[in-house]
Amino acid sequence: MLVEERRWLSAEEFNEALSLCQVLPGPNIVNMAVCIGTRFRGALGAFAAVMGLMCAPFAIVLVLGALFTHYGGLPTISAVFRGISAAAAGLIVAMGIKMAASPRLRSPMAVFALAAFVGVGLVRLPLGVFLLVAVPASVAAAAWRSR
């Protein structure tokens, strides 16, 4: 929309901004809102862009939470939320299957992702302890593999 419909940015400018936003910590879309808002209206533009991006979903979640708190005990509402939960779980499983088919996960380095899932997710090792071992091992493996 920024490039093709509104023509606020060229394709090159968009790619540069997106590259920067992917390196920065935090959600890419929020980083992009800050970047675009700052570019056009400075700090006030960044604030307006983030508020415009976050306020509507926040309000929707608040309303849904209030409705669920008040009406969640009704069998019909409970059934609706169970259906939504099943659909969300299905989408997550579908995304996992799609990601598993990625060439990146067929790499020998994917063993570290599998180890993280087993260690932290199944065995319940503390994340910090796991990372103290996994990070140096994965960095060493990547260095060895690149030679």
What is the tens place of the pLDDT at every residue in 35-45? 999 999 999 99
Place of tokens 């939320």: 81
Q: List the one residue out of 108, 133, 136 whose CA is nearest residue 120.
A: 133
144 domain-assigned: yes
Q: What is the dihedral of CA 73, 78, 84, 87, to 10 degrees?
A: 140
Mean pLDDT, residues 91-119: 79
Among 29-43, 72-86, 89-103, 120-134, which stretch is predicted with the lowest mean pLDDT?
A: 89-103
Do residues 104 and 110 touch, judged by C-beta distance below 8 A? yes
82 domain-assigned: no
57 domain-assigned: no
Among 83-87, 109-113, 119-123, which stretch is predicted with the lowest mean pLDDT?
A: 109-113
Q: What is the DSSP string of 6-49?
A: S-SS-HHHHHHHHHHHHHSSS-HHHHHHHHHHHHHHHHHHHHHH
142 domain-assigned: yes
12 domain-assigned: no
Would you place residue 96 in the very low, low, confident or very high pLDDT band (cuts 50, 70, 90)? Answer: confident
Question: What's the predicted TM-score (pTM) here?
Answer: 0.50
pLDDT on residue 116: 87
User: Could you report the per-residue pLDDT of 5-38, keeping only the tens digit for each?
Assistant: 989 888 888 888 888 888 888 888 999 999 999 9
Query: Could you give the 3-state DSSP secondary structure of residue 89?
Result: helix
Give me the number of domains the chain comprises: 1
Average pLDDT for the chain: 88
Instruction: Find the domain containing 121 and state its range.
Output: 104-147
